[in-house]
Structure 1
């Protein structure tokens, strides 16, 4: 585990107490990445063990090229949000954004933060229009006093949800996962954006630990293919 994977801790100010960052990731993306890595590793081992001629070398080069890219787009993306700043870890860049520099956090067709006039996409919080529409339909039914649409059968074969009491309406309302994450980030922005310790400039760092092996794998793969 790298230092970026560890929860960063920010001082709470006068009390001196520290709190861990909130971490936002895409469970679906991580699951897909693990599956892709498992399949790629299995195919590569098979080619290395049973291949002839340049096949094992091609398999190794392909693995060196593909693994960093799969990790970059599936396992790596994360948003770490603390009391002083948010750290956005995208496939090839890490962006440190103090809350004082944030202009807005929003989710349209993609999740993004706007800071110092520049827009940065939040790869770790993908937007699902299907989930958003489903939540909207659900909330409209609740607001109209109708029970939610029946879901799949439960453990005992039950379907649907009984009529809700007025007091239960708010408790039953839904938000798409991406919108809920953006709401949490906005709350942190409103809470900490004006604090003196949350001021500063945006810092962007290229993730050469991902880029370098992928480029090396691509060059090696090209050389092997060219030389036959």
Structure 2
């Protein structure tokens, strides 16, 4: 079963940007006034290609066979058994064969999110037997304890580590990573830049 993790904030803001672009494109087409409209359309296209590359495309994907890290311009596949170590700071860093490192673009943790997670963890620890707090259902309480003091990136990093250890225990082969270029994102940027140049020169 495939599981995909990405930055919720970036994903939502990217779709907000696409809605904004759609409205502006409609307005520029309806009120077309020559070269200025062409340049504006080309600039919107270039910015949209950039938004796709850095906000919509990046994702961390769990598959049965391994970890897929989709960064703006490259996609890396790592078999679970090939993962040697996982560290989490503001981003998740996955170390694999020959001291190579894969830095995942998403999910990331900001300083604000980490501080909020630490406060949440401290609040969980302070709960006493006679506190007059509302009682959570067992499932919600287990989820709260699992996430106490952790950011989303911390939790995803733990899941990667656990899957890698499980694959090694099963004796799976630690095959090398496979990396490929993201031709869709690169193609979009090339086309968008070409449109901007053509609109300026025309």
Indicate the TM-score class for this superposition, using the shorter chain for normalisation: 0.7 to 0.9
Does residue 96 (structure 1) correspond to residue 107 (structure 2)? The answer is no
Q: Give 1:194 deviation, angstroms.
A: 4.6
Unaligned runs of 5+ in 2: none
Q: TM-score, normalised by structure 2?
A: 0.82
Q: 1:161 to 1:209 in 2, by over 3 A?
A: farther
Structure 1 unmatched ranges of 5 or more: 1-19, 148-159
CA contact (8 A) 1:48 1:57 kept: no
Aligned 1:196-207 pairs, distance under 5 A: 196-207=171-182
Q: Secondary structure at 1:56's aligned position in 2? A: helix
Q: Does residue 162 of the first structure (1) align with residue 133 of the second (2)? A: yes
For this pair of structures, how many residues does the alignment match?
A: 194
SS at structure 1 position matched to 2:75: strand
User: Matched residues in 1 for 2:6 and 2:90: separation?
Assistant: 17
TM superposition shift of 1:196: 4.6
User: For residues 82 and 221 of structure 1, what CA distance do their matches in structure 2 show?
Assistant: 39
When normalised by structure 1's length, the TM-score is: 0.74
Contact 2:49 2:192 in 1 (8 A): no
Aligned: 1:215 with 2:190: yes
More helix by share: 2
Cα deviation for residue 146 of structure 1 reads 5.7
User: How do 1:125-204 and structure 2 match up within 5 A?
Assistant: 125-145=107-127, 162=133, 171=142, 172-173=144-145, 174=148, 175-204=150-179
Distance 1:129 1:66, change over 3 A: same
Q: 1:66-97: per-residue Cα shift (whole Å, max 9, x none)?
A: 22221121121111112321011111110011
